[in-house]
Amino acid sequence: MIPQSQKRYTHYFLIAFGEGFRYNEIADKLKKKKTLDEREKYMSILKNGTLWKDTNGDPIHAHGGYIIFHEGYYYWYGEDRREDFYVSCYRSENLVDWEFRRHVLTTRSATEGYRVRTNIQLRNVDGGKVNLERPKVLYNKKIKKFVMWVHFENGKDYLDAAVGIATCDSPDGDFVYHGHFNPYGYMSRDCTLFQDDDGTAYFISASRDNADLHVYRLTDDYMNVDTLVHRLWQGEYREAPAVVKIKEKYYMLSSFCTGWAPNQGKYAVADSMEGRWSTLTEIGDETTYRSQPAFILQKDGRVLYYGDRWDGEDYFNSSYVIYPLTEKDGKLTMEYADEIEI
Ligand code: DGJ
């Protein structure tokens, strides 16, 4: 996207040095101005529930994803289920124009075991693709690596309920896969990561066939779970967790468990990740405005909920939505929006 200042400059250039100052040309210039203004507006507006395109004009494949900010760029990681891809990465300065960077994890990614005993196969026993869902990435200062945690299933049934780990020296390079495991032997499905201000990171995932939601504090290198700090909402079947910290309080959004079909979103609040979490409160409407949480991002004082609008019949027709979240007196509300200006 053209930087705002440059666009303004271009605009003044057109007005001041256009094709002369004859009266009948002024109308023309006004038209040009309007077109520019409209273009500016169009360029920063995302229409929810449509197929968002990258800067090459190709659909963005980044479902169940996550965005991090690193050295001037936002990096968006997400599921890419095409061909032999697993996770793709896009980069943007403005959250609107996304440049495709790389298929950061594929069936051909390099593998490397590490101190945690894992299975490092990126194909199943039949040679088919495994499922890698909801990839999340954090930068770890200690090991100076980007560390990805991703839900792993074997591609044949949905019974592994494990988590896969991968790392990379750069945000958008080829990630090295370090295999999958079940944290402390527990099932681990829909998941997210959350990094607190002091660098402590947490992995949150659905366990016991999705009945409970586990919160694990990670080791300081983010390469393993350190402590299971919570088993939340026993028997309430929460999926798709997403965490945000607002004014020293922690909010966790999640969905109910209905496959690809959207359902009533709920949230809870706590004074710390390891503190006591509230019971669940509804947010949005009975379908979370036709979406399921992917992650929550804060930008310029705004809290933006990113959700997937899955198409259960045709996965590749699934789209994205962004809804603003508002916090007031410890309560969160989600605003429905057809489109969002970023
Ligand atoms: C709901 C999960 O949240 C999605 O990530 C996906 O796994 C679907 N279930 C599959 O039914």
Taking the CB of residue 120, how many other CB atoms lie within 10 A of it?
16
Mean pLDDT of 82-108: 98
Q: Which CATH number fits domain 44-341: 2.115.10.20, 3.40.50.1100, 3.40.50.720, 1.20.1250.20?
A: 2.115.10.20
Domain ranges across the chain: 1-43, 44-341
For residues 94 and 16, the model is more confident at 94
Eight-class DSSP state of 24: H
- Mean pLDDT score across all residues of the chain: 91
Sign of CA dihedral 328, 332, 76, 337: negative
Residue 9 predicted with pLDDT over 70: no
What pLDDT, on a 0 to 100 scale, did the predictor assign at position 14? 35
CA–CA gap between residue 194 and residue 136 (Å, rounded): 9
DSSP 3-state of 8: helix
Residue whose C-alpha is closest to residue 205's, from 174, 270, 247, 160: 160
User: Which atom of ligand 1 is the closest one to the Cα of 312?
Assistant: 11
Which residue type occupies 89?
C
- Output the residue whose Cα is nearest ligand 1's atom 9: 259
Residue 324 predicted with pLDDT over 80: yes
Mean pLDDT of 197-223: 99
What pLDDT, on a 0 to 100 scale, did the predictor assign at position 57? 97
C-alpha 294 – ligand 1 centre gap (Å): 11
C-alpha 22 – ligand 1 centre gap (Å): 62
C-alpha 306 – ligand 1 centre gap (Å): 15
**Which protein residues touch ligand 1 with a CB less than 6 Å away?**
64, 133-134, 190, 239-240, 259-260, 292
What pLDDT, on a 0 to 100 scale, did the predictor assign at position 43? 61
Give me the DSSP letters along 134-162: EEEEEEETTTTEEEEEEEEE-SS-S---E
**pLDDT tens-digit series, residues 123-156:** 999 999 999 999 999 999 999 999 999 999 999 9
Return the percentage of the chain with pLDDT > 90, whole number.
Answer: 87
CA–CA gap between residue 281 and residue 317 (Å, rounded): 30
CA–CA gap between residue 337 and residue 322 (Å, rounded): 8
Q: Are 319 and 309 in contact (CB under 8 A)?
A: yes
For residues 19 and 35, the model is more confident at 35
- Output the residue whose Cα is nearest ligand 1's atom 1: 259
